[in-house]
Amino acid sequence: MKKKISFFITTFFCAVAAAQNVGIGTAVPESKLHVVDTVDVANGQSGAFVNIHNATLLSPTGTLSGIKFRLDGVNAGANARYKGGIFFEKTGSWGVGKLHFLTNNLGDNSSITTANARMTIAADGKVGIGNSSPSVSQLEVYAPTSIAQFLSSSGVNSTGISLSSPLSYTSALCFNLRYQSGYRFMGPGYGANITYNANNGTMFFSTSNTSGNSGDVALFNASSVVIDSNGYMGIGTSAPKAKLHVASSMVLGSSTTMPATGYMLSVNGKIIAEEVRVQLDANWPDYVFHKNYKLKPLDEVEDFINNNRHLPGIPSAKQVADDGLMLGDMQKRVMEKVEELTLYIIQLNKENKLLKQQVDELIRLQNAKK
């Protein structure tokens, strides 16, 4: 029996201090119950519970209870403080409250407080990360201004998704980018982002025009695609003026070749439309009707046609086959020929009238001799 008692005392040393603190595994207990060892609580029937509270049903004045953690040995002694914990805070009647998960990242002798809450679960189940009072959505993630929240599947220095707020009125969804005094790559490769401006209701879709590695600064093709508050979409412009405003060249069709140089629209296929409006910068050929316009004699026109097989000022069949038609310019040239033709007809009409008068006079004279 003495051996059993001695074994029990040796293995589970228990001390009761003058202040009625109880120690298990320590002769100097620092709290009402101070255990220096691991604790195993088990109940094979209905589960095991550790009940922690700082009030009783008869005196329900407590508002905070929980577990605090510290690691002795690195800075042992009086400087060791509690740097992690789980607190339950009362916020309503009958003990309704929220659960805080806390850490303290200061390298000093300060301990955790509710101000160190990193994640909080509210009484209604809403979860806040960086927000100790979640109340709007089931998951609320807050961070200091302009600092992004990350989602990556491969760890540090890998591509992923981030959320940021570069300005107080903008928010951004970023791909392989994070915001830290400007956009930077999360991992190797290119990046992109979608930014919303709450001041004017405009959404920007942008891509980086260079690739990089983790931490490199990302340069953007600004205003790649923009949708404003009117629903106008701009490509290559930040201020669209129509439902679709393209401020650059465009290709329609399945062509894999580059668009023709110097043209805003390239179509690899046919076009059908009820109306096409061409507005030329050049003068319309009304200049043909000016008095100082030099109309070619028909003999010169005939010689040109015989030598070149097409009208003066009109491209040849080979030119059209090689270079195509400039629709607006061709309409202008055709109108020029129509107006020239009108002048030729007017001249011929005058000559015809004169000839008719002469013929009529000859007939009258002939009849007078009879």
What single string gives the DSSP state of each residue in 47-58? -------S--SS
Residue 56 confidence (pLDDT): 59
Task: Give me the residue spans of the domains in the chain.
Answer: 1-37, 63-142, 160-272, 279-369
Determine the Cα–Cα distance for residues 181 and 187; give it in Å rounded to an integer: 17
232 — pLDDT class (breaks 50, 70, 90):
very high
Residue 341 confidence (pLDDT): 94
Tokens of 303: 């010689």
Residue 362 identity (one-letter amino acid):
L
Strand bridging mode 265-267 / 250-252? parallel
Residue 154 confidence (pLDDT): 62
Residues 6+ apart with CB under 8 A from 102: 84, 85, 86, 87, 112, 113, 114, 116, 117, 118
pLDDT digits (tens, 9 = 90+) for 10-50: 444 455 555 588 989 888 888 888 887 777 777 666 666 67
* Structural element, H or E, at residue 296: none
Residue 220 confidence (pLDDT): 85
DSSP helix, strand, coil percent of the chain (3-state; round to 5)? 25, 25, 50
Determine the Cα–Cα distance for residues 356 and 352; give it in Å rounded to an integer: 6
Determine the Cα–Cα distance for residues 248 and 260; give it in Å rounded to an integer: 12
Residue 297 confidence (pLDDT): 93
Per-residue exposure over 22-58, b if at least 16 CB sit within 10 Å of its own CB, e if not: ebeebeebeeeebeeeeeeeeeeeeeeeeeeeeeeee
Over range 272-281, report the average pLDDT: 81
When mean pLDDT is compared across 78-87, 109-118, 221-230, 312-321, the lowest value belongs to: 78-87
Better-scored residue on pLDDT, 227 or 264: 227
Q: What residues pair up with 67 in beta bridges, in sequence order?
A: 86
Residue 8 confidence (pLDDT): 46
* Closest C-alpha among 245, 258, 232, 332 to residue 288: 332
Q: CB of 162 within 8 A of CB of 151?
A: yes
Answer whether residue 260 shows pLDDT above 60.
yes
* Structural element, H or E, at residue 76: none
pTM exceeding the 0.85 threshold for the entire prediction = no
Determine the Cα–Cα distance for residues 318 and 24; give it in Å rounded to an integer: 105
Determine the Cα–Cα distance for residues 88 and 55; give it in Å rounded to an integer: 13
Residue 13 confidence (pLDDT): 47
Residue 1 confidence (pLDDT): 45
101 — pLDDT class (breaks 50, 70, 90):
very high
Report helix, strand or coil for 93: helix
Only one residue has tokens 């309503």, namely 92
Strand bridging mode 127-129 / 139-141? parallel
Q: CB of 127 within 8 A of CB of 119?
A: yes
pLDDT digits (tens, 9 = 90+) for 167-203: 888 889 999 988 888 888 988 999 999 999 999 999 9
Task: Write the DSSP assignment of 303-370 as a string of letters.
Answer: HHHHHHSS-TTS--HHHHHHH---HHHHHHHHHHHHHHHHHHHHHHHHHHHHHHHHHHHHHHHHHHH-
When mean pLDDT is compared across 47-56, 102-111, 121-130, 300-309, the lowest value belongs to: 47-56
Residue 11 confidence (pLDDT): 43
Answer whether residue 124 shows pLDDT above 50.
yes
73 — pLDDT class (breaks 50, 70, 90):
low
Over range 330-354, report the average pLDDT: 93
Answer whether residue 247 shows pLDDT above 70.
yes
Q: Within the chain, what is the greatest distance between any pair of CA atoms?
A: 177
Residue 4 confidence (pLDDT): 47
Tokens of 328: 């607006």
* Structural element, H or E, at residue 155: none
Looking at every residue in the chain, the average pLDDT score rounds to 82
